[in-house]
Amino acid sequence: MNKRPVLLGMLALLFGAAMGSPALPQAGSADAANGAPVPYALTMGDMMNTLIQPRHAKLGLAGEAKNWQLAQYALVEIRQAFAGIVKAQPKFMGLPVQQLVDAALTQPMNAVDAAIKEQDGKKFAVAYAQLTAGCNACHSAVEHPFVVIKVPDASAFPNQDFNPH
């Protein structure tokens, strides 16, 4: 039996999903009855888990390795991700997301940026700890104190080298 057509079909489905194909209609929805796709709206948890948390970890790992170019890149990526989140979900639990981000994270991100520019590992560690504390303060403010972020103690990215080259 030739498994190639099945494999190619599965890859096409996965590729289509990765390229932003709309989600399948929800059972019972009016659009589902028509067979029309229903777009999937990311929740705040989805956005934090997929856009922010990995970048936070990569920033910490890059700073620990003193890979200042990668750390700067990760910090820019975090800032861009938050800008997108603010546009996608301006309010969370009735609170303005931009104000939450500004209050909890602007000063720590600026301190991380300064430490990166100075290429100072000790200042980076302090600033990164402040950034992490800001994440947790924001979680508490939105009644999610059980979501506790920490400085990574291991890489979740075995396929990336964080050492400077």
Residue 151 lies in a domain: no
Per DSSP, which regions of the chain are E strands? 91-92, 95-96
- Taking CA atoms, 40 is separated from 37, 86, 130, 132, in Å, by 9, 17, 34, 29
CATH number of the domain that 73 lies in?
1.20.120.290
Any idea what the Cα angle at residue 81 is, between residues 157 and 67, rounded to 5°?
45
Rounded Cα distance, 96 and 90, in Å: 6
Domain assignment of residue 156, yes or no? no
Do residues 78 and 125 share a domain? yes
Give residue-wise pLDDT tens across range 59-117: 999 999 999 999 999 999 999 999 999 999 999 999 999 999 999 999 999 999 999 99
pLDDT digits (tens, 9 = 90+) for 44-53: 999 999 999 9
Q: What's the Cα-to-Cα distance from 2 to each of 13, 65, 71, rounded to whole Å? A: 19, 48, 47
Same domain, 24 and 50: no
81 and 20 in one domain? no
Same domain, 128 and 49: yes
- pTM for the model stands at 0.77
d(CA 33, CA 136): 42
The answer on 13 and 85 residing in a single domain is no
Verify that 52 and 127 share a domain, yes or no: yes
Domain that holds residue 11: 4-34
Q: Is 24 in the same domain as 67?
A: no
